[in-house]
Amino acid sequence: MTKTIAEIKNPVLSIRNLSVAYDDNYAVKNVSVDIKKNAVTAIMGPSGCGKSTLLRALNRMHELYDNITTEGKVVLNDENIQKMPAIRLRRQMGMVFQRPNPFPTLSIYDNVIAGYKLNGIRGKKSEKDEIVERSLTDVALWDEVKDSLYKKGNFLSGGQQQRLCIARALAFNPEVILMDEPTSALDPIATSRIEDLIIKLKENYSIVLVTHNMSQAARISDYSLFMYLGELIEYGKTKNMFTNPQDPKTEEYLSGKFS
């Protein structure tokens, strides 16, 4: 059942036979799947099923840890990501983390252009202003922070900080945005604002979203991927998967028999 390769036309990402192991324990086993452009793809599954591990393989975050090995191939717009310089890859694949993690030493303004600033990319003030305004407007934070751009971001609420982190990822105008349970540390109101934002963002970006929350996947994703014990169990349009799951495991999960 895991052998079904989920293929679609003109994918932004195609993942082939991807396996990731921590020391000798495989957390992701032989996953092959295509990710659609300008859509929200949700990765669902119970805790420990390898969904975050799969996501983090896509921008090669695993390279930071010596005990993690990755096998298989990921192609981003016809380019093998293993052959790209990690720095260029990560600029094309923005990442948003589970907990908001703005840089505490930088102002809101500098946090948005942190990617440029940390890399020592110089630009005209007017260009930077434009990037900051565009990114903050995209995440609907501009009106809330435009008068305190040069203050540090620690007075912002958790939801605002998370939107700031999304703005930081948008500043590079990435191809894909990877989101690792971006709302799990937020309250329901902040969560729904981020969900609205994700739906809006898919006009310009392709989004891969790891979520622990089935109803969230149902609300905002176009495609869903169900993983169990490191294997890809089912992949398809979210609507179809939720109404008519093909695999008994998916059905059990969706009906709440395990989580």
Partner 1 sequence: MVLWGVIALSILTISPIVLIIYKLVVKGYRQLSFDFLIRNTPDTFEAMTAVSNGEIIPGGIANGIVGTLIMVAMSSIIAIPVGVITGIYLYENSSKAMANITRNISDILQGVPSIVLGLISYLWIVKHITHGFSALAGSVSMSIMMLPMIVRSTEETLKMIPQTLKEAALALGTPYHKVILRVLIPTGFSGLLTGILLGISRILGETAPLMLTALGSSVINLDITKPTSAVPLLIWEFYNDPNMVNLIWSSSLFLMTFVLLLNIISKRFAARRS
Which positions lie near partner 1, rule CB under 8 A? 59, 61, 64, 86-91, 94-95, 97-99, 101, 103-105, 114-115, 117-120, 165, 168-169, 172
> At its nearest, how many Å lie between partner 1 and the CB of residue 22?
15
Distant-in-sequence, close-in-space partners of 242: CB < 8 Å, separation ≥ 6: 218, 224, 254
Q: How many residues would you count in the chain?
A: 259
Residue 101 vs 204, nearer CB to partner 1:
101
Q: Which is nearer to partner 1, 31 or 179 (CB)?
A: 179
Residue 45 near residue 51, CB atoms below 8 Å: yes
Least spacing, CB of residue 164 vs partner 1, in Å: 11
Q: At 163, list the tokens.
A: 């939107």
Give least dist CB 101 to partner 1, A: 4
Residue with tokens 């998370």: 162
Q: Which is nearer to partner 1, 21 or 114 (CB)?
A: 114
CB of 79 to partner 1, least distance (A): 15
H or E stretch at 138: helix 125-138
Residue 115 CA, chain-centre distance (Å), reads 17
Comparing CB distances to partner 1, the nearer of 1 and 118 is 118
Name the residue with tokens 């007017």: 126
Q: For residue 230, give the amino acid letter.
A: G
